[in-house]
Amino acid sequence: GHMTNLSNRVLNMEESVTLAASARAKALKAEGRDISSLTLGEPDFVTPKNIQDAAIEAIQNGKASFYTVASGLPELKDAINSYMEKFYGYSINRNQVVVATGAKFILYTFFTTVLNPGDEVIIPTPCWVSYVDQVKMVDGVPVTVATTESNHFKATVEQLEAARTEKTKVLLLNSPSNPTGMIYTRDELEAIGNWAVEHNILILADDIYGRLVYNGNEFTPISSISEAIRKQTVVVNGVSKTYAMTGWRVGFAVAEEEIISGMAKVISQTTSNLTAVSQYAAIEALTGPQDSIETMRQAFEERLNTIYPLLNEVPGFEVIKPQGAFYLFPNVKKAMEMKGYADVTAFTTAILEEVGVALVTGAGFGAPENVRLSYATDLDTLKDAVNRLKAFMEK
Ligand code: PMP
Ligand code: GLU
């Protein structure tokens, strides 16, 4: 008989550390423990009322009862086109966009669509936890490029060139970044984009935090820089973060027709289509009133500006101020030394056990000296959590 029923594919992958950390915090809370959870990158706001109402209306008038076209409702594609015109400065046709079950499944669909076994994807680290495992799940090869704090966690063309081989198919760029919150400048993106064009490497631009930028920082979409770069780029975006719609699972990709039709084929044979009611909700999100979005962005900005200086006062914690997204990513090398830990996951676990603050270990992001705090939670919880971190370090 077999030793295990599991495939090598599943045996070789990790569970998402962000979702695992959040589940652990929820389970401890359910046991009655006093836990401050800064694990999940998910707005604490509920979906704005106009979007809720559009969804209810779609259900009640029967529109949400049916399958949609696999690649998404034409009206939603048109709404995404308006969004592209407004925030990217170019238009697309309906064959250049596909919607799916969250940006996460869009990413998986993309990798399935373009990677042959052995094809390499260059991924600057620290990076979001799901990229590496998704590439492995479709037999691609993740090639990580370690960025440094001194370069604000941004990869340079020189580093990318050093990682390039004949097998390099995709460069993954996530700006603003989860977990670092850093944003590439227009000049940096232009240099990277031209390098990708020169070597015929696809750019996967995960722009999901593009609207969540603070303190005057600006997000430039790499696909907006030139037509040559745009043709080489697959934009990944969604409504989860900007519109407080994580539970609706709406993501989209914008690219040249060949890749989009390939992705639509994968969707037609897997989920069939993004849940119809979520598509109607997304139309309202993208085309309806936008004032609640700015209110939420300002709340994140206020939290960042309040909590950032306090976190930097925690002994052994050193943080660069993030420009976007909703994460702080302190280097805790000194803190670990002070407390006698060599491993950041063990350090994170000790913090959870001793003072009830749930963080995400940097290990899952390819950053063994860092921990991640999400500030997508209310200020009282954030201040309380930082006080507990201080207490942990001063014990
Ligand atoms: N990309 C990044 C960088 C993320 O942090 C997330 C987190 N959810 C996603 C993609 C996926 O977003 P969703 O599936 O909720 O649209
Ligand atoms: N992207 C969010 C995070 O990093 C949500 C959880 C996940 O999908 O990883 O926390």
Confidence of residue 1 (pLDDT cuts 50, 70, 90): low
C-alpha triplet 370, 175, 18: angle, nearest 5°: 45
Instruction: Give the SS3 label for residue 391.
Output: helix
d(CA 29, CA 36): 9
Distance from residue 174's CA to the centre of ligand 1 (Å): 10
Q: Please check whether residue 202 is in contact with residue 114, taking contact to mean a CB–CB distance below 8 angstroms.
A: yes
Average pLDDT over residues 148-156: 95
In percent, how much of the chain has pLDDT > 70? 100
Please tell me if the CB atom of residue 195 comes closer than 6 angstroms to any atom of ligand 1. no
pLDDT at 167 over 70: yes
List pLDDT tens digits, range 274-307. 999 999 999 999 999 999 999 999 999 999 999 9
Q: Please check whether residue 320 is in contact with residue 152, taking contact to mean a CB–CB distance below 8 angstroms.
A: yes
Phi (first) and psi of residue 27, to 5 degrees = -65, -45
Distance from residue 140's CA to the centre of ligand 2 (Å): 22
List pLDDT tens digits, range 90-102. 999 999 999 999 9
d(CA 225, CA 218): 14
d(CA 70, CA 267): 6
List pLDDT tens digits, range 365-392. 999 999 999 999 999 999 999 999 999 9
List pLDDT tens digits, range 88-142. 999 999 999 999 999 999 999 999 999 999 999 999 999 999 999 999 999 999 9
Q: Whose CA is nearest to atom 3 of ligand 2?
A: 41
Q: Whose CA is nearest to atom 2 of ligand 2?
A: 41
Instruction: Give the SS3 label for residue 104.
Output: helix
List pLDDT tens digits, range 205-244. 999 999 999 999 999 999 999 999 999 999 999 999 999 9
Distance from residue 179's CA to the centre of ligand 2 (Å): 10
Helix (H) or strand (E) holding 251: strand 250-254
pLDDT at 65 over 90: yes
Q: Whose CA is nearest to atom 5 of ligand 2?
A: 41
d(CA 142, CA 124): 10
Average pLDDT over residues 348-364: 95
d(CA 282, CA 70): 16
Ligand 1 pocket test, pick from 129, 235, 241, 360 with the greatest ligand atom count within 8 Å of Cβ, gives 241
Q: Please check whether residue 239 is in contact with residue 250, taking contact to mean a CB–CB distance below 8 angstroms.
A: yes
Which tokens hold the place of 223?
């696909």
- Predicted local confidence at residue 162, as pLDDT: 98
Which residue is it, tokens 């705090």?
Answer: 373
Q: Please check whether residue 292 is in contact with residue 178, taking contact to mean a CB–CB distance below 8 angstroms.
A: no
